[in-house]
Amino acid sequence: MIIAVDGPTASGKGTIAKALAAHFGLPHLDTGLLYRAVGRQVQLNGGDPDNPADALAACTFYDTLLDDDILRSEEVGGFASRVSVHPAVRQALYERQRAFATQPGGAVLDGRDIGTVIAPEAEVKLYITASVQERARRRWLEMTGREIDIPLAEIERDIVARDARDINRTDAPLRAATDALVIDTTHFGREAAVEAAIEAVEQMR
């Protein structure tokens, strides 16, 4: 069984994907980390994430980069969002994601284009979303918890900009697959969102 979990930033898709993987005993890949690793490598190279050649040159990142906590930072997230626009970057990361999705026994992948591009044949497709205000609030709480002082309005602006880049790019734009089940987590706590997702998978598998 392949479970595709797509959605915008801070929608809860990562939490849900992890919980589904644990519940159904499947391996999990957070595909955003791959784009973050490329973004980080561009940053380390002193390159320009908007330049396709600089972004492609960074695709030969070492796997050790994937374990680095710095990948989770807002700054690297911004780089990731910019490098992910380039078709050559998406192509360079395709095989790795495809191999993970099609491994025997199945897998859970979360990202932006799993149900539309990476595994369009997935038995289960979920599209997790929430209002911009709620996603900004969650990100702000998370950062405040890590003692990072950043105004809520700045986070909201960043989320709006990232959504726009993900939705408006020509290659693999962020959108729900036509056969995806949309779960809006705006008014859900973590437990309720995970429960709704488990129930959806039980029904779709």
Binding-site residue numbers are: 7-15
Confirm or reject binding of residue 158 to ligand C5P (CB under 6 A). Answer: no
If binding is defined by CB under 6 A, does position 40 make contact with ligand C5P?
Answer: no
Residue 77 engages ligand C5P in binding (rule: CB under 6 A): yes
Q: Which residue ranges make up the annotated binding site for ATP?
A: 7-15
**Piece of the chain touching ligand C5P by CB under 6 A; list 19-27, 110-118, 178-186, 190-198:** 110-118
Q: List binders of ligand C5P among 173-202 (CB under 6 A).
A: none
What strand order describes the sheet that includes 124-129? 28-30, 107-111, 2-6, 124-129, 181-184
Among 11, 12, 26, 31, which residue sits at the site for ligand C5P (rule: CB under 6 A)? 31
Given candidates 28, 40, 86, 112, which one binds ligand C5P under the rule CB under 6 A?
112
Q: Of 16-24, 107-115, 122-130, 192-200, which part binds ligand C5P (CB under 6 A)?
A: 107-115
Among 55, 80, 108, 130, binds ligand C5P (CB under 6 A): 80
- 11 lines the binding site for ligand C5P (CB under 6 A): no
